[in-house]
Chain A
Amino acid sequence: MEDSHVERFSASTPKPRVGIDGGDDNKNWRRRVNGVEVSVPIVCGSIAFFRGKKAKEYRTHNWTVYVRGATNEDLGAVIRKVIFHLHPSFKSPTRVVDSPPFTLSECGWGEFKIDITIFFHADACERKLELSHLLKLNPEIYSGPQSPNVPVVTESYNEIVFPDPFECFLSRVINHPAVHVPKLPEGFNLPPPGDAGDESYYKMKKGDTKDHPLSHWFSKFSEADELFKLTATRQKVQADIAELKRQLVMVDVQPEQF
């Protein structure tokens, strides 16, 4: 969004230039690439199953909260660990998940807001990112008693944006399926990942959620519909603006018609 703003108004796309990030240490791996934006599409959500016959007073639902790649790719390349902050009534409510897939399953009876903190690998970003998700156990519209086979799924799409990524990070993830990097201009040279491409970032364990047991409940998010709606609406509004401008001109031209 930020870069396209720049693109919109300047004659040409700003050339990504490798700028030194105000750095006290001039190490290569600290250099940032300006003008390039790395984004990671994620889905943050929860799936809750009613326990049916096995339900007890305080354990009515089995639920899982997670942060997954929007296309179910492995987020472990970018995310180091995720902390889910559960309701204080849970035992040790601060649950740390330090390897992908970043999911947490629990059993409970209540709906509450789960605060999620995402920590990234050092070469990506040293700051953490906070988001939150409202756990829903019961369907919005009551349609009879809950079936233990049909869960309540609540998902929301978002994107993690790294505005001026580190060179080393960019070169490491530029071809990773979970990460979206815009097309770099011609002749832009990125140094090879070097030793950063080792397994420390890629766990042995399978980190993607493509074959996750719950994966068939995952929603697919497509921007197409929304984009279509937006562009159509914009056209409408633009037409109306033109019409109003025309009217304004006419008012000026014919003030004393009466």
Chain B
Amino acid sequence: MGGTDAKDILGLPKTPLSLTQEKKSRPQKESHRKPDGISREVYALTGGVAPLMPSIDVTQLKRPPPPDEKVAWQWLPVKSSARKDDLQLYHWVRVVNDIPPSGDYSFAKYNKSVDVLKYTDDEYENHLTDPVWTKEETDQLFELCERFDLRFTVIADRFPLSRTLEELKDRYYSVTRALLRARAQSPAELANHPLIKILAEAKRITEMRLAARRAAEPDVPANENIGSVSPSSNSQLPATAVAPSTLTMADYASTLASLRMLHVYLRTYGLEQMVQAASSAVGLRTIKRVEQTLQDLGVNLKPKVPTKTVCDEHLELRKEILTLLNLQKQLQYKESEGSSHREGTYGAMPDTPKDRVFASEPFGFGGTFLLSPLFQNFMYYFTISNLPGVCLSVFTAERPIKKEPKRKGPGRQSDTPSPAHKRPRKLKASDL
């Protein structure tokens, strides 16, 4: 063994006595510890070591069954409460001492079903009509709902007409709600029904938000919120620029409300809260960018003289910077969309003035596009701070303007802009 050689070289005493004793005793220990009840080979399968937690009581395995019990297995008919028909099924039953087991079929308790309401034609006429849904469709929907226990994914697959899952759910739940309302004997009974309870809860929450928003902006149209009242519409808010602003409006209002609840607070604390509300819809990176921008513009991140006016202006400035960053991002996406249409390279323009920021932007090529120097400074701040890990790629322009390299084709750095490159796609297509 390597160990002994090393010891030889080093001149250390060879394996001490205790070790050899250990070695000797171990195999002995092993053979002694072979447990009874399972064979030696089987035990060796586990590596000769006992399991951490014996899953089976080993000693029980080979023990004969207790002699006082008489166990037999019988092929007996089974009665299940879950079955409504008369089908007679049989299965093996463990019979102890000639007494068959009592009670219902053990799996019958899992046979849960949903109470899907059934409406009459009259009820449909009076309460449930809908411009988009015909009666036949609604009937079919309900039949599927009953059959498939409201598993809407399954129902959606089997629905004969093409309806989205959300539409189906919406229709089912609104019909059920309307039906419940129509049938309700008393409002109390109605309120206890889970569907109504959930709806009431959702309504309450949205109304709170609406009231909070109204406190801040009375002109906001109310219909934006009504759509979200129905609990069945899990559809998300449209991912446009509108959605974040409506969300943050509610945040502002609730922040204001919470500040008022304090009855006294420091102006700086109030500003912090409002800034947080403004940043609630954006990620940490964007927040950092906003702060970087503020610094670059020479504005204190926390106002030195936080009067009411100063704080208001500061907040508005932050919001405007957010908008600016947003727009910049949109522009970048639009450009990258545009560039992905074209094939890769569109080289640097030789006639680009040195001080252009968008040295190779398509719409800038026409020459009508001019950037104000002010804006250039801005873009410089944004782009530099925005993509820390990206190297500065150098175009023909002298100013190091950074672009996300993934957006450009491989030939981006080339300085050979031939006229052909200016119209890559179209030319090639027509050549074919």
Q: Which A residues contact B (CB, under 8 angstroms)?
A: 1-2, 4-6, 9-11, 37, 39, 41, 120, 124-127, 129, 131, 157-164, 221-223, 225-227, 229-231, 233-234, 236-241, 243-245, 247-248, 250-252, 254-258
Contact = CB atoms under 8 A, between A and B. Distances in A.
Given A227-B309, A254-B366, A258-B342, 9 more contacts: A6-B215, A9-B216, A9-B217, A157-B306, A162-B264, A163-B263, A225-B305, A234-B317, A250-B363
A258 B346 contact: yes
B424 interface: yes
Contacts of A225: 305
A162 B267 contact: no
Contact of B299 (A125, A126, A131, A233): A233
A232 to B, nearest CB: 9
A195 to B, nearest CB: 23
Interface in B259-281: 259-260, 262-268, 270-271, 274
Contact of B374 (A9, A240, A251, A254): A240
A41 B297 CA distance: 27
Contacts of A120: 264
Contacts of B424: 258
A38 to B, nearest CB: 10
A221 B267 CA distance: 15
A244 B306 contact: no
B299 A1 contact: no
24 contacts: A1-B274, A1-B311, A5-B252, A5-B312, A9-B218, A127-B262, A127-B264, A159-B308, A160-B264, A226-B304, A226-B310, A227-B307, A227-B309, A229-B299, A239-B372, A240-B374, A240-B375, A244-B328, A251-B362, A251-B363, A254-B366, A255-B338, A256-B341, A258-B424
Contact of A237 (B300, B310, B324): B324
Contact of A161 (B266, B304, B346): B266
Interface of B: 215-219, 252, 256, 259-260, 262-268, 270-271, 274, 297-300, 303-317, 320-321, 323-324, 327-328, 330-331, 334-335, 338, 341-342, 346, 362-363, 365-366, 369, 371-372, 374-375, 378, 422-426
Give the residue among B264, B265, B366 with the most A Cβ atoms within 10 A: B264
B217 A10 contact: yes
A163 B257 CA distance: 10
B431 to A, nearest CB: 16
Contacts of A161: 259, 264-267, 270
A1 B266 CA distance: 11
B367 to A, nearest CB: 11
A95 B274 CA distance: 33
B306 A2 contact: no
Contacts of B314: 230
A240 B328 CA distance: 10
A258 B417 CA distance: 13
B267 A240 contact: no
A5 B256 contact: yes
B362 A258 contact: yes
A130 to B, nearest CB: 9
A240 B335 contact: no
A76 B138 CA distance: 73
A41 B262 CA distance: 18
A252 B424 CA distance: 20
B305 A221 contact: yes
Contacts of A157: 304-306
B307 A233 contact: no
